[in-house]
Amino acid sequence: MRLNQKISIVTGAGQGIGAATALKFAREGAIVVVCDVNHEAVTSVVAACREAGAQAQGFTLDVTDRAAVDSMVADVLERYRKIDVLVNNAGITRDARLQKMTLAQFDDVIDVNLRGVFHVSQAVVDRMVEQGSGVILNASSVVGIYGNYGQTNYSAAKFGVIGFTKTWSRELGPKGIRVNAVAPGFIDTPILSTVPQDVLAKMREQVPLRRLGQPEEVANVYAFLASDEASYINGAVIEVSGGMTL
């Protein structure tokens, strides 16, 4: 198992890519810390991880609440004494064109998708530096590389996450900590549940593989990057998009 006994925090782990990542890590032998704002979802994913044979702990967590983030990290350290992997997956969308976007829509997305990544990363980094090891994995998006109509806030946040990744890989690499980002394309998650079928068909047509990605396909990349097999990968942004940006 590639992640045997690695203490791994996954935010936004209640559904979609986050839930798939938590379960993949569990199957790879990690001790999984499941974090999400949805308490019932946390309970469900923790149970699934335990059914897969892993140790798992859950926290109902809002990544925009720094006091709650610090408390979660303190609890994890009290129990396990170390943190090996952080997957910053928590994210939301509040789409609108520039002319129609409200300040609340803009602020909500920046707070969760960008500030939240900062909060949790800063909360764990001191212990990783003390350990001389660690992996931080950030959820960006192809939208964070190429932009997207109606997603000023989301694009800005995901561009920002890439900036975090590049900067932290320089700052923390000499201390034994690797920082990378994953940029998914169109992934079949609950976020797409309200998208009309004709729009989904057009989305599939944009992908050379002619299908949407599955959450497990992104989780597989996170698991690889978290493992020692990726020991010389640092500062990378890896697209998982089926080639849609070609």
Instruction: Name the residues annotated as catalytic.
Output: 154
SS3 content of the chain, % helix, strand, coil (to 5): 50, 15, 35
The answer to whether 151 touches 145, Cβ cutoff 8 Å, is no
Query: At residue 135, what is the residue type?
Result: V
Sign of CA pseudo-dihedral 42, 47, 48, 50: positive
Structure token digits, residue 223? 């698991």
| Interatomic CA distance for residues 12 and 233, integer angstroms | 24
Cβ within 8 Å of residue 235, ≥6 positions away: 165, 166, 169, 170, 173, 179, 180
| Interatomic CA distance for residues 233 and 198, integer angstroms | 39
| Interatomic CA distance for residues 54 and 72, integer angstroms | 19
